[in-house]
Amino acid sequence: MLESYIEKIDLLSEAECLDIIEEHKNASWGKHRWRQNAVDTTFEQDHDPSVLEMDPKWGHLVFKKLEAPLRKYFDDRGQDFLVKSLSVPRFNKYVDGQTMDWHVDHIHSLFDGNLKGIPILSINTLLNDDYAGGEFCFNLDGKEVVYTLSAGQSLIWPSVFLYPHHVRPVTKGERQAFITWGF
Ligand SMILES: [Fe+2]
């Protein structure tokens, strides 16, 4: 049941992935910070990935390409199209043992300004697959399930607490992906 709301789609071509990586290579990457809602605090850890907001030029391409698959996602499940907007895609770059700890996507930081809503769908797109480790896993009803993507593929899932997920440590090479939230 939980698995049926996780969908894998083909979003970008290999050439688009390479262009996106190349064009953001020399940008000023920051460090991922995450928030523990229970204690209302944000944290930063050495093993967390580097992050960067996607340039709007590429962001618009991603939004355009996502529209039909997102409509289909809701159609296929007999739901209205619930997503009004998508957040600016954010890269996560993992090297040398970097990892993303278990978490759920109850993202508050999107809504600390003028934006109003709640995260409804998480869309995570892998840009390269020439690395080792770095497996993307959900905890579904207490069972860890690995989802393997190829470069250019996206995973779509509901951004709720039923879908804890993590990225295992990257052991070789560099793993690049980007996330956008539908709200
Ligand atoms: Fe996440």
Q: What are 159-168's pLDDT values in tens digits?
A: 999 999 999 9
Q: Pairing mode, if any, of strands 132-133 and 174-182? A: unpaired
Look at the alpha carbons of 74, 165, 101, 172 in this order and tell me if their dihedral is positive or negative. Answer: negative
Would you state the structure tokens that stand for residue 39, as one six-digit string? 């204690």
Of 4-8, 40-44, 67-71, 109-113, the range with the lowest mean pLDDT is: 40-44
Output the CA 105–ligand 1 centroid distance in Å.
Answer: 5
Give the pLDDT confidence score for residue 109 in this predicted structure.
Answer: 84
- Structural domain tally of the chain? 1
| Span 143-150, average pLDDT | 98
40 domain-assigned? no
Output the CA 103–ligand 1 centroid distance in Å.
Answer: 6
For residue 30, pLDDT over 70 is answered with: yes
Alpha helices in 37-175 (DSSP H): 56-76
34 domain-assigned? no
| Span 143-161, average pLDDT | 98
- Residues 6 or more apart from 176 whose CB is under 8 A from it? 21, 91, 92, 93, 94, 126, 127, 128
Percentage of the residues of the chain whose pLDDT score is greater than 70: 96
42 domain-assigned? no
Output the CA 101–ligand 1 centroid distance in Å.
Answer: 9
35 domain-assigned? no
Mean pLDDT of all residues belonging to the chain: 94
Percentage of the residues of the chain whose pLDDT score is greater than 90: 83
Give the pLDDT confidence score for residue 114 in this predicted structure.
Answer: 85
Question: Residues with beta carbon < 5 A to ion ligand 1?
Answer: 105
Output the CA 129–ligand 1 centroid distance in Å.
Answer: 19
- What confidence tens digit (pLDDT) does each residue in 78-96 have? 999 999 999 999 999 999 9
33 domain-assigned? no
CA nearest 103: which of 30, 154, 179, 176? 179
Output the CA 167–ligand 1 centroid distance in Å.
Answer: 9
> pTM of the full predicted structure?
0.92
Query: What span, in angstroms and rounded, lies between the C-alpha atoms of 159 and 183?
Result: 10
87 domain-assigned? yes
Report CA-CA distances (Å) from 43 to 4, 27, 31, 81, 101: 32, 23, 10, 34, 12
Give the pLDDT confidence score for residue 94 in this predicted structure.
Answer: 96
Give the pLDDT confidence score for residue 143 in this predicted structure.
Answer: 97
- Residues 6 or more apart from 171 whose CB is under 8 A from it? 97, 132, 133, 134
Would you state the structure tokens that stand for residue 167, as one six-digit string? 């990225």
Output the CA 29–ligand 1 centroid distance in Å.
Answer: 18
Q: What is the CATH number of the domain that holds 61?
A: 2.60.120.620
Give the Cα-Cα-Cα angle 47, 89, 35 (nearest 5 degrees). 45
For residue 43, pLDDT over 70 is answered with: no
Give the range of the structural domain holding residue 111, as residue numbers without chain letter. Answer: 3-24+47-174
69 domain-assigned? yes
For residue 37, pLDDT over 70 is answered with: no
| Span 42-67, average pLDDT | 90
165 domain-assigned? yes
